[in-house]
Amino acid sequence: MALRTTARRRRLFLFLLPALLVLAGGASAVRWLGAGSRDSMTATVRVSFGSARKPPVDASVLLAEGANVVDALRAAGVRVTTSEEAGAEACCGVGMVHALDGVASDAATRSGWMYSVNGRAPSVGPAATVVRAGDVIEWTYR
């Protein structure tokens, strides 16, 4: 019986967490993917558009266990175009991000998206990078 009560409290907490974070965080957006499941976690997504002159994204997201970096971007409300969707596998590689919110990589000017997780550049693409609880995912257009 005590186990059921604990599970219910945890589900209620996970259900209320996004609202509490919005109230506490002010301008910080809180979005979620798989919210309310008992296997969920939070991560931070930051996007800097550099010379594209768009407002930055700074969002705390609630994700299902096993979510990848692309899932986290979408949970933060960022429009993601993968290299496959853009037909750009030849220049960008499979499982890579081609554009965020319409700002696309450009081989001619050698501009493109770079990302890091907890300050380190992963050795695999964002679709293959699994997010862990507390991760800080940063995207920069260069």
* Residue 72 domain boundaries: 2-141
Q: What is the mean pLDDT of the chain?
A: 79
For residue 120, name the pLDDT band (cuts at 50, 70, 90): very high
- The angle subtended at Cα 111 by Cα 107 and Cα 114, nearest 5°, is 115
pLDDT score, position 87: 67
Structural domain count, the chain: 1
CA–CA distances in Å: residue 85 to residues 38, 45, 82, 92: 32, 22, 5, 11
**Whole-angstrom Cα distance, residue 94 to residue 77?**
22
**Whole-angstrom Cα distance, residue 64 to residue 82?**
21
Region 104-128: mean pLDDT is: 92
For residue 19, name the pLDDT band (cuts at 50, 70, 90): very low
pTM of this prediction? 0.70
Region 93-117: mean pLDDT is: 87
Region 16-22: mean pLDDT is: 45
**Whole-angstrom Cα distance, residue 13 to residue 46?**
25
CATH number at residue 130: 2.170.130.30
User: Starting at the edge strand that comes first in sequence, how are the strands of the sheet with 57-64 ordered?
Assistant: 29-32, 57-64, 40-48, 136-141, 113-117
**Whole-angstrom Cα distance, residue 50 to residue 102?**
13
pLDDT digit string, tens, across residues 33-54: 444 456 799 999 999 998 888 9
The residue among 116 and 105 whose pLDDT is bigger is 116
Most confident residue range from 54-58, 81-85, 95-99: 54-58
- One-letter amino acid identity for 70? V
- 114 beta partners: 140
For residue 81, name the pLDDT band (cuts at 50, 70, 90): very high
Q: Which three-class secondary structure state does DSSP give residue 24?
A: helix
